[in-house]
Amino acid sequence: MKEVAFFAGAIGALGGAIAVIGLRNPFYSVLALIIHLISLAGLFLLLQGEFLAAAQIVVYAGAVMVLYVFVAAYVGNVDEPLWEPIPGQRFIAPLLGIALFVELGIAIVGSGLRSIESEGPTVELGFGSPEAIGTLLLERFLIAFEAASLLLLVAAVGAVVLAARKRPSEEAG
Amino acid sequence: MDITWYLVLSALIFAVGVTGVLLRRSPLVILLCLELMLNAGNLALLAFSRSLGNEEGQVFALVVMVVAACEVVVGLGLIVAAYRRRIPLNVDELRSLRG
C-alpha cells in the first residue's frame, strides 16, 4: 500500500517538475508546479511530516502560488523561445542535469549508510505533529525562528520598495 | 519503502530543477526551477529526519520554506519592477547592473 502511494506521489512530483521546465507558457508552468507541490505534500505525509505537509499545501500551493499566478498574469505571456542563443545549449544542459543526477545517485547509493536502507525506526504517535514541531521551534530553535521572522519582514519591505511605482519626478529622468 | 527511494527521487527533482535553470530564459520560470530545487532539498531533509527518527530535520525544512517564500517575494518584486520599466524579461539581455 505504501509503495503504491509512494509511486503515485513520485510520478506526480516528477511529472510536475518536468512539465515546469518543458511547458512554453509560464502560466502553465506555474500550474504544473502546483501539481508538483501537492504530490510532494503526499510524500511528506508518507515520511510522517504531518505538519510540513499541511504547511506545504497552505503556504506553498496556496499563498506562494497565488503570487506566481498573479505575476504570470500581470507580466503576460512573454513569447520566449524555448531554447536558443548559446549554440548546443539544448543538448548540453540536459546532459549536465543527467550527469548531476548520476553523481548524486552514486553519492546516495554508495554512501553505505545503513539507516537509509530501511524504512526508518518506529516512531511514536505524534512524530511530526504540529505539537512536536512547535515545541522544538519555540524551545530549541527559538533563535532560528526569530531570525526567520525577521527575514520575512525584511523581504516584505524589500519587495514593496522594489516594486513601488516610481514617482512622477523620477519618471521624467 | 526504503529511505533510499526518497533520496533518489529528491536527487532526480533537483537535477530537473538545475536543467531548467540552465535551459530556460524567462526569469519567472527560473524562479520556478529554484522552487523545484528547494523542494528537492526539503524532501531529502524529511527523508533523513525520518531515517533518524528525529524531528529536527523537519524544523530545518520549515526554515527552508520560509527562505523560499522570501526569495519568491524579492524575485517577483524584481520581475514586476523590470516589467514596469519596459526591460525585456529575458535573462540573456538582463546582463548589466546600473544604479
Domain positions in chain B are 3-84
Amino acid at A34: I
Topology given in CATH for the domain delimited by B3-84: Helix Hairpins (1.10.287)
In a domain, A5, yes or no: yes
Lowest mean pLDDT across A46-50, A78-82, B12-16:
A78-82
Q: State mean pLDDT over B61-79.
A: 90
Chain B contact set for A137 (CB, 8 A): 59, 62
In a domain, A150, yes or no: no
pLDDT band at A74 (very low <50, low <70, confident <90, very high): confident
Q: Which residues contact B80 (CB under 8 A, 6 or more apart)?
A: A71, A74, A75, A162, A163
In a domain, A158, yes or no: no
Is the pLDDT at A83 greater than 60, yes or no?
A: no
Does ipTM top 0.85? yes
Chain A from 44 to 83: CB within 8 A of any B CB: 44, 46-49, 51-52, 55-56, 59-60, 63-64, 67-68, 71-72, 74-75, 78, 80-83
> Which residue reads 526508518 in cell numbers?
A120
CATH number for position A70: 1.20.120.1200
Structural domain harbouring A9: 1-82
pLDDT band at A127 (very low <50, low <70, confident <90, very high): confident
Q: Hey, is the C-beta of A93 within 8 angstroms of any chain B C-beta? A: yes
Amino acid at B82: A
Q: Hey, is the C-beta of B97 within 8 angstroms of any chain A C-beta? A: no
Q: Which residues contact B87 (CB under 8 A, 6 or more apart)?
A: B93, B94
The total of structural domains in chain A comes to 1
In a domain, A48, yes or no: yes
Across the interface, of B36, B49, B77, the residue whose CB is closest to A20 is B36
In a domain, A88, yes or no: no
Note the pLDDT of residue B40: 94
Most confidently predicted of A55-64, A69-78, B32-41: B32-41
Q: Hey, is the C-beta of B63 within 8 angstroms of any chain A C-beta? A: yes
In a domain, A146, yes or no: no
